[in-house]
Amino acid sequence: MEMAKPPRHQSWENPRCGVFKSMGESRPMSREMCLKCKGGRLLCGHDHCPLLRKMDLQNPVQDRLKEEMFGPSPSVFVGWKDYPNVYVGPMTSLDEEAERLDNPGSWYGLGFDDIIRMRSLMVRGKQKRPVSDRTRFTEKMRELALSVRPVDVETHYKRKPHFSMSFSPVSQPMGASGDVRRFHVTENPVIPRKVDYVVSDELRSVDQVRNLFDKNFDVYYLTNVLASGSLGIEDDRKMVPTRWSITAVDDMLGKELMKRIRDYPCVNDFQVYENTYLENHFEILLIPGAWEFEQFEAWSPQTLWTIGQSEHTIVQEHEGHGGRWEYAYNEGGGYYAGRFAVLEALHAMRRQARAIVFREIYDSYIMPVGVWEVRENVRKAMESRPTNHATLHQALEDINTRLTIPVGKYAEKSEILKQRRITEYT
């Protein structure tokens, strides 16, 4: 049985999602599989993640849902199941603060309850379309995605949308959804001239993403634009499933920033940055030397993905100076989000370094909210004042005072810390 393959620029996602179920071969779940999948790739072969399904929440929003609804739309959403024929449509807000409800860059400091409350006010419209669709329906979707302000839409559903909270390790939580009969854009989208100029140019999507990033458009806007099918050579443009576009933008920009920082001088000392948010603790270590990157995820027992375990589980990903071309299966989108945030900071500093991210996920991390949490945690850490150390030994001792797991446990799995130099321990 052949599975539909994603286009070349989507190679970061596993094209075999759901294959075992469709062949009648469900795999038994294991702790290693659950940690690698985190409900995002359905590696066990089930139609839905059994763990995430237990988190279904009820909400009084159901009473506000109608077959015909009017409200601001800050974005679009493109599904991934049954690729290349997927469910696509506008995201419509039940609240006037639509822009904030769909912009994780503005969520830092909010708790789980606040995030769930906000996302429950978003309604996902769905209509099944091929990703290469060029009808008026998808043209209107592109207009919504390119607008830098929410656009009022009037949406007609086949039946009243149903509320059911869903979660993903990559994208932010989703609330109500409904099958769209049709929708109308009732005001003009606000599309900056420089955006119109870039998307009209006959360039590859990676070049357009880079150009827009250089014009100060953030990753969250770029993710939406890429998902909508607005980028790439005109005849080859396709919609990109939202969860793939999130990781794609992090990967595209990460590779571009790597090219730039390789020409910068190295940091002069051992720098340690740290931050804690949403029951995730991060320590970032910059080591003098040519660019290299490593990220650890250390999961406490009894999180959603480690139920029944009695010990911490550490997973690791690494890439050398030349970067990586294979998908980071152990950590998925969180790896690319963390790497991008470190590279973004190094580019601003005009420096390069060997970088290690230590991420500890506490057992109070009760639900996945998307990889934006990793990106914003690392961003916030890199904005803080670092502690500076003369030796690697001193830097690791400093980090060890705040980690739950002894730093030696990480060192045993580390590629970078194996590269020991006498001068680092003197």
Dihedral sign of CA atoms 246, 250, 253, 256 in order: negative
Neighbours of 78 (CB within 10 A): 27
243 three-state secondary structure = helix
Task: Determine the pLDDT at residue 302.
Answer: 73
Contacts of 340 (CB under 8 A, 6+ apart): 219, 250, 251, 253, 254, 257, 375
Q: Do residues 85 and 227 both lie within one domain?
A: yes
Quick one: 72 and 102 in the same domain?
yes
Q: Which domain holds residue 292?
A: 270-425
Whether 265 maps to a domain, the answer reads no
State the pTM of this model: 0.85
Asked whether residue 47 falls in the same domain as residue 92, the answer is no
Q: Output the pLDDT for position 4.
A: 37
What tokens were used for 408? 């030696």
**Is there a contact between 188 and 180 (Cβ–Cβ < 8 Å)?**
no
Pair 187, 282 in one domain: no
Closest CA to 7 of 322, 235, 318, 323: 235
Residue 47 domain-assigned (yes or no): yes
- Tokens of residue 249, six digits: 């933008």
Domain closes at, from 229, 255, 281: 255
- Looking at the fold, whether 161 and 279 belong to one and the same domain comes out as no
Tell me which of 121-135, 158-172, 288-302 is least confident. Answer: 158-172
In the chain, how many domains are there?
Answer: 3
Going by their DSSP bridges, the two strands 75-78 and 354-361 should be labelled as unpaired
Residue keyed to tokens 């099918």: 229
Q: Are 39 and 71 in the same domain?
A: no
Residues 24 and 168 both lie in one domain: no
Assess whether 232 and 373 both reside in one domain. Answer: no
Residue 42 has a pLDDT of 67
Same domain, residue pair 9 and 88 = no
More confident residue, 415 or 368: 415
Instruction: Determine, yes or no, domain membership for 355.
Output: yes
On whether both 8 and 79 belong to a single domain, the answer is: no
239 and 348 assigned to the same domain: no
8 A C-beta contact, residue 68 and residue 161: no
**Residue 175 identity (one-letter amino acid):** G
**Do the domain assignments include residue 364?**
yes
Query: Which one has a higher pLDDT value, 65 or 30?
Result: 65
Note whether 67 and 14 are same-domain residues: no
Percent of the chain with pLDDT over 70: 84
Mean pLDDT of 288-304: 92
Mean pLDDT for the chain?
Answer: 88
